[in-house]
Every structure is written in C-alpha cells, then in structure tokens.
Amino acid sequence: MYIFESDSPIQKRDEFGKCLPDLVDCVGLESFEGRLAAATALAFDCAHLTAFNFYKDNAPRKMVMSAIDNQASVEEAGKRYSEVHWKIDPTNLFRDRNLEVGKYYWVLTSSNEVDDPDYLSDCYHETQIYYRASLLRRFPEYTMKLSFHRKRVAGEFLRGQLDNIQYYVDTICSLVRRHDNMRPVPKSTDAARDAYTNKLIGRFPTLTQRELQTCALICVGMTSEAIALTLGISINTVLTFRRRAYQKLNICSQNELLRVLH
C-alpha cells in the first residue's frame, strides 16, 4: 500500500473536461453513473469508479457505483463491501487518522496486498480489478472515499496520472455529492426511510440518532403515533425529538423538512 498527501493539481487532462457538460446535464438521472464511468475510462483508463461516505463509525454508504462493464458485479461488490469488508480495507485504517478538512489523501493498493480471501474474491476478482487508487477527502459532515479502479492490463497508477485525475477531483466530488442528493427517493417505506436518513446525515450532522430517525419517518409520512410505535417510545418523546430537530434545522413543519432535503 502506498499513501501520500497532495495539495494541488499539476496538469490538465482534456479528455475529462470534454465530458463535463454532458455529466452536468445528467446529474440526478439514471444515466449519470454510466456516463461518469465512460468519462473516467476515457480520461484515466479506469474500469470503474466508486464513491462511499463514512459517517463516524457507521458502515459506509454508497454514493456512486459506476462501471463501464460488469455493472451487476460491481453493484454486488459494493453491497458486500458496505456490509462485510469495509472494516478490513487498508484504506480505512488510514481513514481513522485525523484527516484535515479540505485536504486530499491518496491511498494506492493492489489485489496482491489483500490477504482476506473473501474480500479478495468479492471486491477484486469478481469485478476483474487489480489496481485501486482511493482518494480520501474530509468534509465537515463526513469523509468521502472516491476510488478509481483499473484492470491489470491498464497498469498501476503513476504519480503523474494521479495529478491528471486530481485536476478534476473537486469537480468529480461536487458532481457525485450533487447526484447523491438529487437521486429519487425509493417508493417503499423502508427504502425511503433509509434514503432520507442518509440525506439527513450528510447535511445535518448535529442531529442525534433519535432525531434522525424521527425526521426520516416524518418524511415518509408517518404520524407521531406511528413513529412512537415504530421506535418504541412515547408520543411526547417523539414530539420532543421533532421539536429539537426542527430547531437545529431552523424549520417549523414537515413541508419545510422535505423542502430542505430536495
């Protein structure tokens, strides 16, 4: 594993810049992730790109999973990573350090550095990936891990190639964050609750766990009585959590809550 800290880009890679207008136009649409994969493949010779956010000690949440091929395998690898493998990922051992907000940290790994056979199979062999360059960026509310993946034939990431990627990394992070915030909320109650919870975590990190749960269930249309039954607490306690959350968000109603999340 190779780690270094980087402050500024060195040179421009025009191939990605040519793709930007199209990427901006499709942010929030189903086509965005596929087009992002195509752009990074053209400009940086990557087979796929993934982005996760890490909030405190919680399991990571997928933001983007873009692949030029084997999309189903990549999606499954992302699911297994979030559920099982993230704790043994060497990148996350580095993430536990006190990273400075706004700085970039590159962590370079390859499949021959992975000792766990299940992790190796799920996240490297099944997706045909050999090299990974992960960029960690600390935001006030969470840490984003943006990973560029290459097949063996493309070769390892060299410092000059990472400088090319870094020229656009602010833009890529902004596009991913914007797309993650704009993606449609699922129709099922459980999926919608989880989607709203993730949005709240990303935008309002001062909310407590109970305040997050209460606001997420308000967003999916539950009454105070239903929230009380779901969380196993009294209605008065629900009203207290709602009042505290609304004060932190500087809002007064369910409509305002939904508006700040869209």
pLDDT tens, residue by residue, 179-213: 887 766 666 678 888 888 888 887 888 899 999 99
Question: How many Cβ atoms sit within 10 Å of the Cβ of residue 101?
Answer: 9
pTM: 0.70
Query: Per-residue pLDDT averaged across 127-156, rounded?
Result: 90
C-alpha span between 30 and 13 (Å, rounded): 26
DSSP 249: H
pLDDT tens, residue by residue, 42-53: 999 999 999 998
pLDDT tens, residue by residue, 101-116: 878 888 999 999 888 9
Q: Let me know if 209 is exposed, middle or buried by CB neighbors in 10 A (0-12, 13-18, 19+).
A: exposed
